[in-house]
Amino acid sequence: MVTTHERLLQRPLQPKDGTAGIERPRGLLESVPEDPEPLLELASRHVVSSRQFDRAKLAQLFRLAAQYESTPQLMHLPLTGKILISAFYEPSTRTRLSFESAWHRLGGAVMSITDPKSTGIAKGESLADIAEMFNNYGDVIVLRSSEDQAVYDMLDTLRIPIVNAGNGIDEHPTQAMADLYTIAKWRPELLQGPVPEGERIRVGIIGVPSRMRTVRSLLLLLACFPEAVGEVVIVSNEPENFDAGQRKELEEAGLRLRVVGELDPVLPELDVVYINAIAWVGDSFESLGSGLHLTRESPLKPGAIILHPLARGKELATELDDTPHNWYFAQARGAVFIRMALLTSVVRRISAVMDTPEE
Ligand code: CP
């Protein structure tokens, strides 16, 4: 009798079902004309918040990411000789590995810290002093920390750019870029200018904007595209969902927001269903949204796509992995290419991959 393990070992490796979107970046290339200017503005800049981005910068980042994703055989190595300091003071699967993969694919070298106790933090060294040392050893820092304040504590002493890879419950801007890049590949025409009212997308977010850094950053980026996003529906069973001023800021930017407590009644209206259940708190995490689940029986609109920043728990059934609704694996894959585009911009190497005026 052949065991399951033996069967899996004998099976030829194939692209896995549920990797929707892999073939899509070319449509995005056709929808966005190349313009290096917005990316040149990112040269030698820190990337801390989604607030630093606008529609033009995002569209060009998506375009360059699509170029990297669709033409790996034409890959340049614009970061040869550059060193990334990858400092992850909190667990990560996707963000650390996709940043490091992005940097390696661009020809750079990586130094990685995965345990703060292996650094001077164990001796009480300040983040400002550590940042002063980082200036000497690398060209860019990518920082993940459980503390909202950590990335800000380094800014004053840094002379090299830092990219926020998640700071407490505050922000995770490059995750939000990966989320929107996925939507842009699914519907590239959303980037072409004002979208007729009836063709705008309705995005459902099962999550808590004030507690989840991924949701906070995603809402800020969605607010850059109010002429493409008809409505954002927050699905949450928490009594409070927004920080003071958070909802007002988004609505003033043009985003139409609605909050509902039940998922199934609203699901048939949603084109994009984004789900997350984890909020980082200190050295641990809390699960929010008990009772809000997506399964194969959920009344999803035909053609709707599901996004999830991952890691997932019970909120997203694995039985959805083999359906066309699964765009969350494409979202995790695309994160490599959007991070390649961002890193190329931040280290002043856009001229190596695009036609530019003198930098
Ligand atoms: N999406 C995300 O931040 O995943 P990791 O925690 O694995 O980096």
Full domain range(s) for residue 154: 13-171+334-350
Q: Give the closest residue to 171 by CA, choosing from 225, 221, 232, 127.
A: 221
Distance CA 303, CA 114 (A): 39
- pLDDT score for 182: 97
Considering only CA atoms, which residue is closest to atom 4 of ligand 1? 94
- Predicted pLDDT at 17: 46
CA distance 312 to 331: 14
Cα-based distances in Å from 83 to 58, 144, 335, 340: 25, 17, 20, 14
State the pLDDT at residue 291: 81
What's the structural domain count of the chain? 2
Q: Within a domain: residue 355? A: no
* Pocket of ligand 1 contains residue 166 by CB under 6 Å: yes
129 and 276 part of one domain: no
- What's the token pair of residue 219? 């809402």
Judge if the beta carbon of residue 217 lies within 6 A of ligand 1.
Answer: no
CA atoms within 13 A on the CB side of 320: 25
Evaluate whether residue 2 is within a structural domain.
Answer: no
Residues 310, 178 share a domain: yes
Phi, psi of 166 (to 5 degrees): 115, 115
User: If you measure from the C-alpha of residue 297 to the centroid of ligand 1, how many angstroms do you get, rounded to a whole number?
Assistant: 27
Quick check: is 272 in a domain? yes
In a domain, 357, yes or no: no
- What is the pLDDT at residue 75? 64
Inside any domain, residue 359: no
Same domain, 177 and 275: yes
342 in the same domain as 323: no
228 and 338 fall within a common domain? no
In a domain, 205, yes or no: yes
**Residues 137 and 195 occupy one common structural domain:** no
Confidence at residue 26, expressed as pLDDT on a 0 to 100 scale: 84
Give bridge partners of residue 285 from the DSSP assignment: 280
292 and 339 share a domain? no
Same domain, 156 and 237: no
Q: Which atom of ligand 1 is nearest to the CA of 166?
A: 3
pLDDT of residue 18: 45
User: Is 193 in the same domain as 281?
Assistant: yes
pLDDT tens digits in sequence order for the chain, 359 residues long: 788 888 888 887 766 544 555 667 888 999 999 999 999 999 999 999 999 999 999 999 999 999 999 887 666 788 999 999 999 999 999 999 999 999 999 999 999 999 888 888 889 999 999 999 999 999 999 999 999 999 999 999 999 999 999 999 999 999 999 999 999 999 999 999 889 999 999 999 999 999 999 999 999 999 999 999 999 999 999 999 999 999 999 999 999 999 999 999 999 999 999 999 877 777 777 777 778 999 999 999 999 999 999 999 999 999 999 999 999 999 999 999 999 999 999 998 898 888 887 54
User: Are residues 137 and 197 located together in one domain of the fold?
Assistant: no
In this structure, the answer to whether residues 135 and 194 fall within a common structural domain is: no
Q: Looking at residue 228, which CATH number applies to its domain?
A: 3.40.50.1370
Residues 150 and 37 both lie in one domain? yes
Q: Indicate if ligand 1 lies below 6 Å from the C-beta of 175.
A: yes
Cα(45) to ligand 1 centroid in Å equals: 23
Q: Which residues pair with 163 in a beta bridge?
A: 47, 142
Question: Can you tell me the distance from the alpha carbon of 21 to that of 19, in angstroms, rounded to the nearest whole number?
Answer: 6
Residue 5 counted as domain residue = no
264-to-40, 259, 260, 347 alpha-carbon distances in Å: 44, 14, 11, 45
